[in-house]
Amino acid sequence: MALMRSMLLAASQNVWLREHAVTYPFVRRSVSRFMPGETLETALAAAQVLRQKNIGAVFTHLGENVSDRGEARNVTERCLELLERIRRSDLPVEVSLKLTQLGLDLSPDFCFDNLLRIIQSQPASATVWVDMEASRYVDATLDIYKRALKNHRNVGLCLQSYLRRTRKDLADLLPLRPAIRLVKGAYKEARDLVFRKKVHVDESYFALAQVMLRAQAAGECARAAFGTHDVTLIRRIADFASQQGYAKSSVEVQMLYGIQRAEQERLAREGYRSLVLVAYGSYWYPWFVRRLAERPANLWFMLRNVFAS
Ligand SMILES: Cc1cc2nc3c(=O)[nH]c(=O)nc-3n(C[C@H](O)[C@H](O)[C@H](O)COP(=O)(O)OP(=O)(O)OC[C@H]3O[C@@H](n4cnc5c(N)ncnc54)[C@H](O)[C@@H]3O)c2cc1C
C-alpha cells in the first residue's frame, strides 16, 4: 500500500501523464466522483444543494505553481471575480487557495500582496483559507500567514499532522489567534520529516485537535476546523469535545466533495459544523492523483470506468 501511494504521488508530478491522462474519457469520468464539474457554475450548483442540507462550502480553484507574475496576477483577478460571484449568489461559501498559485515560487512579497488583495475584498466574517503544500513551502507559508494575520482576522491556515514540526508550528501560531484547518497531509515527503506509520499520523492529529479545541474554548484559536474523512478520528474528537463540555457547533469538520457524503450529512444533522471543499477548474490532474493516493482502492473505481462507456 505504501509503495502504491508512493508511485501515485510520483505520478501526480509527472508532466507527460498530466498532459495525456486528462484526455482519456475513463479518467474524466473518474474525476467526476470528486468534483461536480470544471466550471464555477457547477460548483455553485453543488453549494446550493449542500446548503439545503445545512452544509457549508469552501471553493478551491484547482491549480498549482504558477511560473510568471502575469499568471499569478490572473489567478488573483479570477479569485476576486469568484468572490464577487459568491457574494452575489448569497450562498455560504468560503475559498481556499494555494500560495504557489499566487506566485510564492516567484517572490514571497509579491505573493503576499496578491493574498492581501483577496483577503481585503472579503467581509470580516468570511475566512479565506490558505492550503498547506509540500514541506519546502511550510516556512514561507507560515511567514505569509503570520504577516496577513497581523491586520486581518479573516484568514485561516491549513496545518498537516504528518509533519513532525506541526506541534511547534501550532504552538507558535496560537498567540496570534489563528484559524486552523487541520489535515493529515497529502504530499510525498522525506522520511525524516514525517510520521511514517498511519497510526502515528492519526495520534498526532488527535493530539493537535485537542490543543486546537482547548485553544478555541479559551479564545486563542479563532476557528478549529478538522479536514478529514476519518470517521473514527472524528468520533474521538467529538467525544473529547463533549467530555470538555464544548458545544457540538464548536466542532467543525471539512471534507472533500463526494467523499463520505453520509457522514457529512450526519454531522450537519446532529448540530456539528459540516463543510465541504468543492474543487473546480480544468487543472485537476495532480489534485485528482493525490486523491487516488489517499485511497488506492479508488484505482479500482477508475478501472471500472474503463469499461463503462
Ligand atoms: C477540506 C480538506 C482540505 C484539505 N487541504 C489540504 C491541504 O491544504 N494540504 C494537504 O496536504 N492536504 C490537504 N487535504 C488532504 C489531506 O491531507 C488528506 O490527504 C486527506 O484528507 C485524506 O486523509 P483523511 O484525513 O481523510 O484520512 P485517511 O486515513 O486517509 O482516510 C480515512 C478514510 O476516509 C476515506 N477517504 C479518505 N480519502 C479518500 C479518498 N481520496 N477517496 C475515498 N475515500 C477516502 C476512506 O474511507 C478512508 O478509510 C485536505 C483534505 C480536506 C478534507
Per-position DSSP letters for 32-101, written without gaps between them: TTT-S-SSHHHHHHHHHHHHHTT-EEEEEE------SHHHHHHHHHHHHHHHHHHHHHT--EEEEE-GGG
The arithmetic mean of pLDDT across residues 142-154, rounded, is: 96
Ligand 1 centroid vs 260 CA: distance in angstroms?
10
Please identify every residue annotated as catalytic: 131, 181
Average pLDDT of the residues in 162-170: 98
HSE toward the beta carbon, residue 229, CA cutoff 13 A: 14
| Cα-based angle 108, 183, 131 (whole degrees, multiple of 5) | 25
3-class DSSP state for residue 171? Answer: helix
Report the residue among 158, 184, 199 best suited for mutation to probe ligand 1: largest number of ligand atoms under 8 A from its CB. 184
Model pLDDT, residue 152: 94
Chain centroid, CA 223 distance in Å: 15
pLDDT higher than threshold 80 for residue 45: yes
Quote the cell numbers at residue 207: 493530539
C-alpha grid cell, residue 15: 508532466
Average pLDDT over residues 280-298: 80
Query: Coil, strand or helix: which one is 178?
Result: coil
Q: What is the pLDDT of residue 283?
A: 78
pLDDT value for 11: 79
Give the per-residue pLDDT at 100: 94
Q: What is the pLDDT of residue 188?
A: 87
Q: How many CA atoms lie within 13 A of 114 on its CB side?
A: 27
SS3 156: strand
AA identity, residue 160: Q
3-state secondary structure of 142: helix
How much is the pLDDT for 19? 72
Contact 46, 57 (CB under 8 A): yes
> Which run of H or of E encompasses 223?
strand 223-227
Nearest to 223 by CA among 158, 276, 268: 158
Q: Give the position of cell 486546537.
A: 212
Task: Give the type of residue at 218.
Answer: A
Residue having the nearest C-alpha atom to atom 52 of ligand 1: 227
**256 CA from centroid of ligand 1 (Å):** 7
Residue nearest to atom 2 of ligand 1 (CA): 227
Tell me the residue type at 5. R
Higher pLDDT, 67 or 134: 134
Within 6 A (CB) of ligand 1 lie 131-132, 158, 160, 183-187, 227-230, 254-256, 259, 277, 291, 294-295, 298
CB-hemisphere CA count at 13 Å for 149?
21
Please enumerate in sequence order all residues whose Cβ is within 8 A of that of 309, keeping only pairs 6 or more positions apart, or say none: 25, 26
